[in-house]
Structure 1
Amino acid sequence: MSKISHLLEMIITLQYKGLTTAADLAEALEVDKKTIYRYINSLNKANIPVHTKKGRYGGFYIDKEFYMKPSKLSEEELQALLMATQILTEKNGFVLEKNLQTAVSKIKNICINDNEELKCLNETGFFRMNEIGNLQDLEDKISKINYAINRGRSISINYFSLNRSSLTVKKVDAYNLLFREGGWYIIGYCHMNNTVETFKLSRIKTLKVTEEIYMIPRTFSLKEYLNNNWGVFKGEKIKVSIKFDKNVSDFIKNGKWHINQQIEDQEDGSILLNLYLDDTEEIKNWVMSLGKYAEIVEPKKLRDELKMEIEQIYKKY
């Protein structure tokens, strides 16, 4: 990531999170502390009011009067970008296809209005914000998440699941709040799935801080987690291949499961469904709902996660 990208992420992080330590910034941006201090110096030279609070509970903070708000795009502008990614491809002679795809992925969380009829761009097109919504302001969400992290309180979120197109209530122990590639993310332990997961703030409809106390495990490493899940944050697509039994092959063929799906016929009558996703959080539940008729072929990490969850279910029964 470029220095400019790092500086922008630092500004937005300080603007919303408030007092933040050099260690936290260094871990989030995957640089050393010395680099963070150089970045702070660069911001000050640019007349951006970043200040230092010394002491045991010190860190960096930015003047509350300073506010950098991203410009909004109209619905037509977002639609134009989406159409451009379909037209401007390497096959059509556009050599910067990957760059365009990455740029569009970075603005998927940008909203275009300030009312409940907001629309945002996601993996499958546009969805109404009053259906999955953002009934709480971004600042309010971030404030509550920071409060929960600082005091070790679990949060209850009403979270939108893409593949089920529905809302699910989840209890989460928030470990970190990150701003990456134009969007805010919670990294934390999901009690429903018994795993550490990534949650997009743009897909949280409501959020409540509970009285339940938790502690971040000593074994958790943000750096290690980011290394294993970097594709989620830098806009890279993850290829997911699912093999479907011949008994359900027609059902799968006749459905539109994703905007960039590819189907391959196999000699035994089964089919291979290839999807290119931003993350694999929801696809696992969909595959499990199809039982013995579906098998994840790749990626191995997702296959192993599903195997572990099935083993846990087996122990219960």
Structure 2
Amino acid sequence: MPRNDQVTRQWHLLRRLEAAKRGLTLDELLAELPDDLPKHARTIRRDLAALEAANFPLVTERVDGKVRWRLMEGFRNIPALGLSPTEVMAVAFSRHLLAPLEGTELKAALDSAMQKASASIPPPAMEFVRRLEQSFSVGLGPHKRYRDHRVTIDLLTKAITRGRTVQMRYFSASRQATTRREVDPYRLRYIDGGLYLIGYCHWRKDVRMFAVERIRSCTLTDHPYQMPLDGDVEAYIEDALIVMRGKRIEVELLFDKATAAWVRDRIWHPSQQLTQLKDGRLRMALTVADTRELLGWILSFGNGVRVVKPESLKAAVREEAQAIAEGV
């Protein structure tokens, strides 16, 4: 039996027992396990014994002639936090998602909270977390590191919380120049391995997105601001494929059979509409900003994709591919 099955099954058992105040019979525990996990009474009994050995206080009692398993009263929730043991362990496991923010106050606060929460869980139970980490891992992919930007992130967080404008020197990658900006900071947003500030730029007279690592200096002012009543940060970025904004265009792509096999299983953009063709190819329609991000994304599929429309995008992809081939 794969070790992953054992850990996953025990995790599901704990989740079911946490939710059942009256406990569950062996048949009920078996019925509530996912269909893709082995379901045998003897195996479940071994799992329950393993959880007891990990200091999870399981109690058995006979009700109406049937043995029921439940967690001891008081253990189901950690009073100080209102979190169940598996919820605490899930937080401990997911802390890896904030690895790029290592060195910042945000990550330090999460680590501190996790240490306090973990103290409420018996050591053998925390060993269960380590076993989970051997079964599931978090792959962050390409990402930026923000250890050297701790002061900037902390200051921006304070500015957003207090509703105060910031003054900053910002390096624009597109213009290769550093300019002074006065910005009303609306939100910090982590996207595709990078941390960005979304806010109203008084210089540009518009809402803009700023890469945190390109903020050369930042100062908190005493000038209060209010987000417009019709302000919607999510709407501001909805057209971007990742972070770049631009003119909205209607795009139609055609993926060959081999490429379609893994394209259709992902949400690349909220607006995407997929149509599976009889010959195995996949048609994708989406409304997205016309940017170099879009161009690079399409090229990443190589000859597995064809641009159906618009003609301007088709021409841009052709010119870019030719420039790459010719080493221009």
The two structures have a TM-score, normalised by structure 1, of 0.36
Rg bigger for which structure?
2
Q: Give the number of the structure with larger relative contact order, counting CA–CA contacts within 8 Å between residues 6 or more apart.
A: 1
